[in-house]
Structure 1
Amino acid sequence: MKKIVLSLLCVLGSLYLFAQDTFSIVAVDEETGEIGAAGASCVDGIAAFGGIQLLNDIIPGRGGVNAQAWVCLNPHINLVNAIDQMEQGLSPSEIIDWLYANDACSSQSFNPEYRQYGIVDFDPDGNARVAAFTGANADDYKGHITGPNYAIQGNILLGEEVLTQMEDGFVNTEGSLAEKLMGAMQGANIPGADQRCLDRGTSSTSAFLRVYSPDDEPGSPSLELSILEMPFGEEPIDSLQSLFDEWFTTNSVLDWQGKGSVQVFPNPVTNELQVYFQSPRSIETLTIYDTVGKVVMELSPNTVAQTHLQLDVSKLERGTYYLKFKSKESGIETIRIVKP
């Protein structure tokens, strides 16, 4: 899983013009063929336009586009054109070149330097391709990061750390593409990630996460989570995490192939950590260490054989930790967790 996009937009829709700050990610999973995106923005009234997911579109089995910064709505014409070019076979970098030469949005006089894009797809051999663009006139702080299968970009951000923490959350989260996208969003869960929400004490007002399986129909993703708009002072990424946890618990079946005998979720984790064992464990000791080997938490074991534990790690400071189990069945097992 490798590409993600962050977005900020200003929206021209019908007779309306909005200035929006958005951070987003778009990514693909070469192993499963999944394509997904996630993002958030601080925009009052965005629920009337269907939430911030309006910045993204995905062709199942082919690729996805995030189009942000100054954009037109009804239709989001540059996004529509990007998807059209993807359907015609252009690569992500070729699509960006085409969009730059053929900007169709009247906002800012059709000037492509006010736009921001993140694009990922699969080439004919199923390999991930990625490209991103940040126009010189998009609002600061602006920028993008690309990796082997993800593009992350944003504007009107608190700073570069919003992008780098999103990347850390994506790269360091173990599991499915959906889990990694949620990890990226938690990386941006800081007050003022979108500058305009700093006085609210939140990262944003609206957030989304979606994943398409290769056999999904367009417009019908396997996973679609949306926080259209939160009241003043309430964090949409926290609400998105709650929706994600509920979905994961009720719909996700753990795939143990090649993943070891212990899995944790979510990771990065904010409050409650779910631990799953491939086979029952009678836990004798359970300890959490920091990166220098200092014990930061010792938890009371439950010697009854079980396949699932729920751990409260809300008091841990931000950082990387190692969760060590000792059981009668499997001896010592260690897994890394991240607290954003």
Structure 2
Amino acid sequence: MRKITLVLLLCFAFSGVKAQDTFSIVAVDPATGEVGAAGASCVDGVGDLGGLIDIISAIIPGRGGINSQAYVCIPNVNLQNGIAQMEAGASPAEIISWLFANDSFPCGSGGPFDDPAYRQYGIADFNPDTGVPRTAGYTGASADDYKDDIQGATYSVQGNILLNATVLENMEANFVSTTGTLADKLMAAMQGANFAGADARCLDRGTSSTSAFLQVYRPDDTPGNPYLRLNIEEMPFGEEPIDSLQTLYDEFLAVQDNSLDMQLRAYPNPASEFVTIAHNPNVQIDTYTVFDISGKRLNITPQELGQGKVNFSVADLPKGVYFVQLMADGYRQTISFIRS
């Protein structure tokens, strides 16, 4: 399936940004290995920086993601450091502890905001050994009110300078109650904050924010090249960026409607000797590719078990999380399994 980038570009004069106050969500999907994030903020001039997406959010495909917000410098050194810790194998809780102890604020070093109490983080990842999702959040005591962070088994929702607790509560409720893909759930979460003043600074504009984004990585995507990237860089006064984000997402779904439904299922899962991948028997699969959690392609050949089923030997694989990518007629879908 081809990668799709949809960007709405509306640039305004940039007058300097330090405080990226926002509401956001970062989440993983254990069924597919996808990692995604979405967020919005009321910051004038952020369009000249390309929007929020690369300032507050970073993702390691197949591993996890971090949102770093509240008072940040550009570039966001704390975000970069957090991703480096994730790459080194640290858990979400360990990353937050490390960031607190090694806080960086180079654009205001020695000033009043040079303190981890002004930061806010949300992290979600997969345990590289077991595939079990892990989450953690941190909201510094000095971040601007209303502020909070909420974690579930697969997600972290966080925000500051919010109108009230309803913003995060709505986002969480929409994410949890929505069925469908990770992207569907992230878009629903953003709609939960689609009301005037969700970011309190935009109340007089009659909008939730000025800028919004949504991105999702599949486990075999390369860093910086997600299969879905929607970026509303900045909207004019009084125009709602989450509405524009929804428009881009609907356009994305219209393209996806032409894709194949492979109806993937992996069993047993976890597996110790063999894993069977079942798919829609009416779909002719062209290739099967197995990746480990780092994205390394493995030399494993499937054995056909009949129409709509293939079998892989996993006995020689180390314990951990793996992904099987199936290609058919130019489209691809991915499913994960755990080697126990």
Q: Fold-level match, TM-score > 0.5?
A: yes
* Higher RCO (CA < 8 A, seq sep 6+): 2
Distance in 1 separating the partners of 2:41 and 2:260: 32
Distance in 2 separating the partners of 1:135 and 1:209: 25
Alignment of 1:166 with 2:171, yes or no, is yes
Gaps of 5+ in 2: 1-13, 266-340
Deviation at 1:198, TM superposition (A): 0.4
Partner residue of 2:114 out of 110, 113, 128: 110
Correspondence for 2:73: 72
Distance in 1 separating the partners of 2:85 and 2:19: 27
Partner residue of 2:250 out of 245, 252, 257: 245
Alignment of 1:58 with 2:62, yes or no, is no
The answer as to whether partners of 2:116 and 2:140 remain within 8 angstroms in 1 is yes
The answer as to whether partners of 1:21 and 1:195 remain within 8 angstroms in 2 is no
Distance in 1 separating the partners of 2:235 and 2:150: 28
Correspondence for 1:32: 32
Deviation at 1:109, TM superposition (A): 4.7
Correspondence for 1:121: 125
Distance in 2 separating the partners of 1:48 and 1:258: 42
CA spacing shift, 1:59–1:258, aligned 2, 3 Å: closer
The answer as to whether partners of 2:62 and 2:220 remain within 8 angstroms in 1 is yes
Q: How does 1:151-300 map to 2 (within 5 A)?
A: 151-252=156-257, 253=259, 255=261, 257=263
CA spacing shift, 1:165–1:255, aligned 2, 3 Å: farther
Q: For residues 81-109 of structure 1, give each alpha carbon's deviation from its aligned partner in whole angstroms, at most 9, with x where no partner exists.
A: 00000010000000000000000114445
CA spacing shift, 1:148–1:254, aligned 2, 3 Å: farther
- Letter in structure 1 aligned against 2:99: L
The answer as to whether partners of 1:21 and 1:42 remain within 8 angstroms in 2 is yes
Q: For residues 293-326 of structure 1, give each alpha carbon's deviation from its aligned partner in whole angstroms, at most 9, with x where no partner exists.
A: xxxxxxxxxxxxxxxxxxxxxxxxxxxxxxxxxx
Q: For residues 234-288 of structure 1, give each alpha carbon's deviation from its aligned partner in whole angstroms, at most 9, with x where no partner exists.
A: 00000000000010111244748499xxxxxxxxxxxxxxxxxxxxxxxxxxxxx
- Identity over aligned residues, as a percent? 62
Deviation at 1:126, TM superposition (A): 1.0
Q: How does 1:321-332 map to 2 (within 5 A)?
A: none
Distance in 2 separating the partners of 1:176 and 1:66: 20
The answer as to whether partners of 1:141 and 1:157 remain within 8 angstroms in 2 is yes
- Letter in structure 2 aligned against 1:22: T
Distance in 2 separating the partners of 1:139 and 1:163: 15
The answer as to whether partners of 1:128 and 1:149 remain within 8 angstroms in 2 is yes
CA spacing shift, 1:216–1:230, aligned 2, 3 Å: same
Q: How many residues align?
A: 245
Distance in 2 separating the partners of 1:202 and 1:109: 28
- Letter in structure 2 aligned against 1:58: I
> SS state of the match for residue 203, structure 2?
helix
The answer as to whether partners of 1:21 and 1:196 remain within 8 angstroms in 2 is no
Alignment of 1:47 with 2:40, yes or no, is no
- Letter in structure 1 aligned against 2:28: V
Correspondence for 2:101: 101
Report the TM-score, using the length of structure 1 for normalisation.
0.69
> SS state of the match for residue 72, structure 1?
coil
Q: For residues 154-203 of structure 1, give each alpha carbon's deviation from its aligned partner in whole angstroms, at most 9, with x where no partner exists.
A: 00000000000000111111100000000000000010000010011000
The answer as to whether partners of 1:65 and 1:119 remain within 8 angstroms in 2 is yes
Distance in 2 separating the partners of 1:104 and 1:169: 34
> SS state of the match for residue 179, structure 2?
coil
Correspondence for 1:139: 144
RMSD of equivalent CA atoms:
1.8
Correspondence for 1:301: none
Deviation at 1:17, TM superposition (A): 4.4
Distance in 2 separating the partners of 1:212 and 1:165: 24
Deviation at 1:19, TM superposition (A): 3.3
CA spacing shift, 1:100–1:234, aligned 2, 3 Å: same
Report the TM-score, using the length of structure 2 for normalisation.
0.69
> SS state of the match for residue 210, structure 1?
strand
Deviation at 1:48, TM superposition (A): 1.0
Distance in 2 separating the partners of 1:159 and 1:121: 28
